[in-house]
Amino acid sequence: MKREFLEGLGLEKEAIDSIMSEHGKSTNELRSKVTELETEKGSLAEQLTQRDSDIDSLRKDSGTSSELKTQLEKLQSDYKEMESKSQTDLAETRLNSAIDLAFTKEGAKNIKATRALLDFEKLELGEDGTVKGLDDQLATLKESDGYLFPEQEESNDRPRIVNEGNPQTLDNSQNDPFAAKLAKYQ
């Protein structure tokens, strides 16, 4: 969605900003899921390629059984190492996506600058997808570096609807000749 499209519809700048903000929140959620899935896909593709090449080399080098056992043990340890690396990378990607999503929901003006102020050693991704320890750090950041977040105003964002005509005259009977005549006979 582009601002030019919304401006072409005749919307005010404040309305366009609100629409773009909400649209950004929904797209950021989807982007984080896509990034997570791409990381997982790349890791799995790398593992499959490595396994295929290892199996081919074993077929070619099918020497003595003791050599084969040694090679198999080495490959198994390599696979376990790759799998743990893959899990670590995936967990890191999920943590980063959850942090970015939380910053987006809080309305952070600059996610990269806000991330730089976090203490990642105190953060942990929970099983439900939330980041443990992030709320405390966010509260601290809002106090110390409030310029990174929009001001929290308690305003009513609903549009103000005004009746047509002159809003300064509340009693139209004084200006209406028909109402004046009617009042005269009552």
The overall average pLDDT reported for the chain is: 79
Residue 157's pLDDT is 63
Residue 167's pLDDT is 53
pLDDT in tens, 14-70: 888 888 888 887 788 888 888 888 888 888 888 888 888 887 777 666 656 777 778
pLDDT in tens, 88-99: 888 888 888 888
Contacts of the segment 36-41: beta carbons below 8 A, 24+ positions apart: 36/90, 36/93, 36/94, 36/97, 39/89, 39/90, 39/93, 40/86, 40/90, 40/93
Residue 70's pLDDT is 82
pLDDT in tens, 120-164: 888 888 877 788 888 888 888 888 888 888 775 545 566 666 666
Residue 21's pLDDT is 81
More confident residue, 126 or 176: 126
What does the pLDDT average to over 108-124? 85
In the chain, the amino acid numbered 62 is S
Q: For 27, which DSSP code?
A: H
Q: How far apart are the C-alpha atoms of 149 and 30, rounded to whole Å?
A: 22
Residue 158's pLDDT is 65
Give the tokens for residue 103: 């910053």
